[in-house]
Amino acid sequence: MTDIHADAASTPDVTALAQRVETLSAAPPGSALPPDARAVVAELLDLLERGAVRAASRDAEGTWRAVPWIKRGILLAFRAGAVVEMSDRGSLLGFFDKDTIPPRRFLPDQGVRVVPGGSSIRRGAHVAPGVVCMPPMFVNVGAWIGQGTMIDSHALVGSCAQIGERVHLSAAAQVGGVLEPVNAAPVIIEDDVVVGGNCGVYEGTVVRRRAVLAAGTILTRGTPVYDLVRERILRASAEAPLEIPEGAVVVAGARAVGGDWGRSQGLSLQTPVIVKYRDERTDLSTALEAWLR
């Protein structure tokens, strides 16, 4: 994943913006915001769309952390905005949202394919050239989508989620988002990951590069993952999220429940299982034809 650190100290302009966001965000709830609040929000959303700043940053050891001032700025966008009608002219359906975060509109020279059919990408989301969006799909504010990624039909990328390059989010895959608390890290999907159909990745889970999540796999902070190859159990902790190792192939498995009665009923709980680590055969079965892009 291209490492663009959303560090408030990276440039003087960003530092000043971060300071202004913090000041505005500290205003008591219900109080009137200063006249420049909407301009501050617009500047932040522009930077997010360009990929100049991100809602999460990766350090030299590979640890991902939220960037709180950016998340506060996104929350400020909701506070500074007014609810307006956003329906298409002549539409029988009514759509209403904050005017500070309307759907994005792309131009051909931006290199993003949004196939007609009900998709929506919200203001403040970075979508790199070469991304393909199959209808209907949704990308929320603050999300980051890397080059060459495919977002398939009925897929969701939540607020501030970070999706790497050449990722395939298959049909109905759900990548959770998080705005509050501002220190909570979003879901991270690194480069060259395949997320199968009807998968769900939530609560700050980190999926390392080249991993494969088979159809129906659900990952949350409370989900233990059983690694059959290395004979270990992967869990989140108070200090760290659930992390799927690089190249792991994860399938939706099951484990028997405890207790005599549960066992007598044949009950089991959904449990993701690492059955192998990616090899040449896996690469062939998950390859995306270049012409689709």
Whether 266 and 210 have beta carbons less than 8 Å apart is answered as: no
Q: How far is CA 163 from CA 71, 89, 102, 186, 263, in A?
A: 17, 33, 21, 10, 40
Q: Does residue 183 surpass a pLDDT of 60?
A: yes
Segment 199-225 shows an average pLDDT of 97
What is the tens place of the pLDDT at every residue in 217-226?
A: 999 999 999 9
**Candidate CATH numbers 1.10.260.40, 1.10.166.10, 1.20.1250.20, 1.20.120.450; the one for domain 12-83:** 1.10.166.10
Share of the chain above pLDDT 90, in %: 86
pLDDT band per the 50, 70, 90 thresholds, residue 94 = confident
Given a cut of 90, is residue 285 above it in pLDDT? Answer: no
Q: Across the beta sheet with 200-201, what order do the strands follow? A: 120-121, 138-139, 156-157, 174-175, 200-201, 218-219
Using only the alpha carbons of the chain, give its radius of gyration.
20
* Phi-psi category of residue 16: left, alpha or beta, with phi > 0 → left and psi -120 to 50 → alpha: alpha
Contact 128, 145 (CB under 8 A): yes
DSSP letter at 275 equals: E
pTM: 0.92
- 6-20, 92-106, 134-148, 167-181: segment of lowest average pLDDT: 6-20
Structure confidence by residue, pLDDT tens digits, 3-44: 434 444 456 689 999 999 999 999 999 999 999 999 999 999
